[in-house]
Structures are given as C-alpha cells and as structure tokens.
C-alpha cells in the first residue's frame, strides 16, 4: 500500500472543498463532501485513475451534500455519514437550494450508514476515527487518520476562522466545545483539510486563531 494522499476540487458557487482521499499506489479512495459539480468530480477521478469505494459526508449542508445522491448513482457506491442528527438537513437539501437561489442540481440525501462517535471508516489500509462535532451542524462529524496525523474537519475549523453558527441547527458554544474537546486533544502536530479555503495545523490554530483565544 502507498501513502495517503488528498486532492481538492473546489465545487459549487460556495467554492466548497470537495476532497478526494486516496492511496498513492492502489488508487483506491473516497470522495468527501461532494456538494455539486458532479461531472467535474467524475472527470477528475477518471483522469487520475482513482477508484472510489465510498462517499463520506461531514455534514448535511447543501454545499457539502448537495451532489451526493447524484455521485452515488454515477459511481455505484454507498454514502457514509454524517451523524443521524443531520437527517432534517439532508431531507431538505432541495429546499436549501431554493432558499439560497442556487442554480444547480441538488437532491435530498439519505445516507446508507450514519456515523457515531467512536466509529471507524476506512479504505485499503487507511483507517479513520470518527468524532461527532456538533455546533456548525447538529450531526457534523470529522475524520481522523492517526497514522498520518491528519484530519478532515469539514466546517468545524478553518485556517484563521471557525464554522458559522447562524444556520439552522447551529450553536456557537457547542462549536467551541467541539473544537476544545474533540479537535485540540488530537494534537498540535495534526494537519487538517477543511471545507473551505486552505488547511492548516491544529496547534497553529490553537495559538493564533482569533476565535479560539481563551479556550
């Protein structure tokens, strides 16, 4: 088996990071948060010879889950995650699309498997621990690969910022608690990819992120 690698495709008018995690040798992998622009995602997979095992979702907002059902159909794979607390969001993705005036194909999503704190998901030899991290969305989860000191944190934490909490189901105190109790203990050296913009390291955010001072 090869190294764990990640590629990012910015999708949708929200410029959300759709992430492809894959093994450098076997080219087996997963798609994390296909918010839309499914044809572009499929084309990228084909161009790079990557075989997708599953689709993983961090949470149920339109820019992360809006294209999941269409991608599932095209690839013939299952949708895994997020936590079941995001069912109300996933059931109303089409409604979210209308509210945001998004001119793109969005379909409501019903995952094949929901995730809980302590679950594990994997492809090839690459195993990820699941943490339930509510605050940005009630059922938000993050994926942590201990071997590589790497996490996909969705919209919980950003480089220099944190997830917004003014959307349905958002809770600012809960988000800060998730960061303090779930992300910080992973370790300062852990590198992360997030749902928007560049990634970073947890320790750097703990020290310099203006939203996290005093946590």
51-56 and 28-32: which strand pairing?
parallel
For residue 1, what pLDDT is reported?
A: 66
C-alpha–C-alpha distance, residues 21 and 32, integer Å: 8
For residue 103, what pLDDT is reported?
A: 62
Strand partners, 200: 192
- Extended beta strands in the chain, E state: 4-11, 16-23, 28-32, 51-56, 78-80, 120-123, 126-132, 141-145, 150-152, 157-158, 161-162, 191-193, 200-201
For residue 100, what pLDDT is reported?
A: 77
Taking 50 as the pLDDT cut, the residues of the chain under it are none
**Range 4-212 classified under CATH 3.60.15.10:** yes
pTM here is 0.97
For residue 22, what pLDDT is reported?
A: 98
* Residue that has been written with the tokens 């370790």 in this structure: 187
Instruction: Output the six-digit token pair for 134.
Output: 């509510």
For residue 101, what pLDDT is reported?
A: 78
Residues 38-77, buried b or exposed e (16+ Cβ, 10 A)?
A: beebbebbeeeebebbbbbbbbbbbbbbbbbbbbbeebeb
pLDDT digit string, tens, across residues 54-103? 999 999 999 999 999 999 999 999 999 999 999 999 999 999 888 877 76
Please compute Rg for the chain using Cα positions.
16
Neighbours of 87 (CB within 10 A): 17
Using an 8 Å Cβ cutoff, are 214 and 192 in contact?
no
**Before 82, cis peptide (omega within 30)?**
yes
Using an 8 Å Cβ cutoff, are 34 and 55 in contact?
yes
């Amino acid at each position: 088996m090869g190294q764990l690698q990640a590629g990012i495709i910015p999708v949708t008018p929200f410029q959300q990071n759709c992430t492809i995690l894959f093994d450098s040798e076997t080219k087996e992998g997963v798609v994390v948060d296909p918010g839309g622009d499914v044809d572009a995602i499929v084309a990228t997979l084909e161009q790079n010879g990557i075989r997708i095992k599953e689709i993983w979702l961090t949470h149920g907002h339109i820019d992360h889950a809006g294209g999941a059902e269409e991608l599932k159909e095209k690839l013939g794979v299952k949708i895994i995650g997020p936590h079941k607390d995001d069912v109300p969001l996933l059931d109303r993705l089409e409604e979210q699309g209308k509210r945001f005036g998004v001119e793109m194909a969005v379909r409501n999503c019903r995952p094949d498997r929901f995730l809980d704190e302590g679950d594990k998901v994997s492809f090839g030899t690459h195993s990820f621990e699941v943490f339930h991290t509510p605050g940005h969305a009630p059922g938000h989860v993050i994926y942590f690969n201990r071997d590589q000191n790497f996490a996909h944190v969705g919209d919980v934490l950003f480089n220099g910022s944190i997830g917004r909490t003014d959307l349905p189901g958002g809770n600012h105190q809960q988000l800060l608690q998730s960061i303090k109790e779930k992300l910080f203990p992973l370790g300062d050296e852990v590198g992360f990819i997030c749902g928007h913009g560049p990634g970073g390291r947890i320790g750097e955010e703990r020290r310099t992120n203006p939203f996290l001072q005093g946590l």
